[in-house]
Structure 1
């Protein structure tokens, strides 16, 4: 599995500045496909009662958690006049995981009230792009109906693995008005070994030979969680570029080491530009993770400027 780790992206546990003192924030609960997601809603310090402001949904990569976004991005963006929502994916951080039956047998007959008793297991720390897109979709629904939000001015920001998620969302969800994709893997390439493994895992899952939690041997060295390779290899946000028609900023690292940026961010920019979509491609010095350290301030400022222009 060592070679597969090169294609894996993560922003969990990265350092950032402390919570800002000025923007107000409160915990919120988002329901996603029956599971409780833990979120935080940040409000601009100057927002008046009854006033609606543009909003940004922040989405993290791999198995990152909102604690990082709450330090390094949310308070700074809220201070610039945006309502900002962060959340943990199902089975990560403070969010509940999906519940699955332990037994592979047929479920028992429900009682008169429609309920049943059975042993269940909570699925945690699985990286599944399909489930993550569902969670993001539900977070957008929550954000769009918040009384502090102008539903016509919602932007989405994603970094690393979710740099592809935001392209998928922009293609499929017309509630999104502007996008920032940062050091995103757009499905432009995978190691040669990934294809056969994905096919094998998909067949095993369909036949009940593996459950909702992938085998431990599928883990990427050095990263938390278990990747759902059967879905990840077939997940290609770049293929949806033809359906994106909102302003999109693409941020890459000059010396990106986890994937070929020419086949990901650069290819995405070219595809959008060819269709006349307003897009910009900014490349910052350094490697993948420098975007969260010495390039954090400049990259964040570029994102804020993009959202100010287009929201």
Structure 2
């Protein structure tokens, strides 16, 4: 059973989502706080994970980041990683006020861009008692240099500078597609990104929009969540990687995992970045994550 929820961030933005009740639990339950990756919204398979966790006796709070989906915030389509990190912490604060949440047994879950966020949240916020980071962004600059052709880099840097100047003049920031057919400019230039988002939008009702601020991409290149990973301990950490991932590359995530201290666990899935959300990789991953949360919350 789930209900619609909303809560306010410390700076006054209303975030909205769902609260799944822990099945079979009367009274305060261990609870997992979840949000999605770069521009993605809650209905893009997060309900599948939440249902697995809820059925196992875990409460789940799923919400959209500010500026996306059903949450408020402007400019729309702006993905500020630090504002999203603070959103997680505001969600934890709200959760601790709820009568059916055990305030001392809070876990966090994030995937892709938010997989990086939960590394930072768990390192900084000791209210977090367990963390699962799925196919996470680890080093933003290195990831960007792998995704963006070398001969395009100087032009992108110039676009960042021009966009900054335009915003300083009071103009609206530039926008670009999140994904596009091969060869067309976009934020995430991989074929599997295009297939995943466009197919989902064609087959489901969704609040996802194929647009993101250029400033978001600049912030992506400056964001280095893996630098926090050694500070997570002694909070239990699970990292889920996909062996064929080239959006958040396997070798980079594995390198970050090596820097984490115990207790920790690595789960390696077959396939690429987006297979983690569906099919057999989802069954493997969601079961391992469920058990990790149950063990540690």
TM-score range, shorter chain: 0.7 to 0.9
The number of equivalent residue pairs is 258
Cα distance, 1:203 vs structure 2: 7.3
Asked if structure 2 preserves the Cα contact closer than 8 Å seen for 1:69 and 1:86, the reply is no
Cα distance, 1:69 vs structure 2: 4.5
Runs of 4+ aligned structure 1 residues displaced above 2 Å come to 68-71, 192-207, 209-223
Please give the per-residue CA displacement for 1:101-145, whole angstroms capped at 9, x wherever unaligned. Answer: xxxxxxxxxxxxxxxxxxxxxx21222212211222211111122
Q: 2:173 aligns to what SS in structure 1?
A: coil
Q: 1:259 to 1:95 in 2, by over 3 A?
A: closer
Q: Quick check: 1:260 aligned with 2:249?
A: yes
Q: 1:137 aligns to what SS in structure 2?
A: helix
What are the residue-to-residue correspondences of 1:14-29 with 2, within 5 Å? 24-29=1-6
One of 267, 287, 291 as aligned partner of 1:301: 287
* In structure 2, distance between residues paired with 1:198 and 1:168: 26
In the alignment, structure 1 segments of 5+ residues that lack a partner are 1-23, 99-122
Q: 1:94 to 1:259 in 2, by over 3 A?
A: closer
**What residue number does 1:283 align with?**
268
Cα distance, 1:71 vs structure 2: 2.9
**What residue number does 1:238 align with?**
226
* Bigger Cα displacement from structure 2, 73-82 vs 216-225: 216-225
Q: 2:238 aligns to what SS in structure 1?
A: strand
Asked if structure 2 preserves the Cα contact closer than 8 Å seen for 1:53 and 1:81, the reply is yes
Q: Quick check: 1:34 aligned with 2:3?
A: no
Cα distance, 1:200 vs structure 2: 5.9
Relative to the length of structure 1, the TM-score reads 0.76
Please give the per-residue CA displacement for 1:180-232, whole angstroms capped at 9, x wherever unaligned. Answer: 11111111622155688458636753671475633448742647221512321
**What residue number does 2:211 align with?**
225
**What residue number does 2:50 align with?**
74
Q: 1:208 to 1:284 in 2, by over 3 A?
A: same
* In structure 1, distance between residues paired with 2:157 and 2:80: 12
Please give the per-residue CA displacement for 1:14-55, whole angstroms capped at 9, x wherever unaligned. Answer: xxxxxxxxxx2111111122221112111123222xx21111
Asked if structure 1 preserves the Cα contact closer than 8 Å seen for 2:119 and 2:133, the reply is yes
Q: Quick check: 1:142 aligned with 2:94?
A: yes
* In structure 2, distance between residues paired with 1:198 and 1:232: 13
* In structure 2, distance between residues paired with 1:302 and 1:86: 19
Cα distance, 1:91 vs structure 2: 1.9
Q: 1:201 aligns to what SS in structure 2?
A: helix
**What residue number does 1:43 align with?**
21
One of 181, 191, 200 as aligned partner of 2:133: 181
Asked if structure 1 preserves the Cα contact closer than 8 Å seen for 2:23 and 2:58, the reply is no
In the alignment, structure 2 segments of 5+ residues that lack a partner are 178-184, 198-209
* In structure 2, distance between residues paired with 1:134 and 1:81: 27
- Which of the two has higher C-alpha Rg? 1
Q: 1:159 to 1:239 in 2, by over 3 A?
A: same
* In structure 2, distance between residues paired with 1:173 and 1:77: 22
Cα-Cα RMSD:
2.3
What are the residue-to-residue correspondences of 1:106-185 with 2, within 5 Å? 123-185=75-137
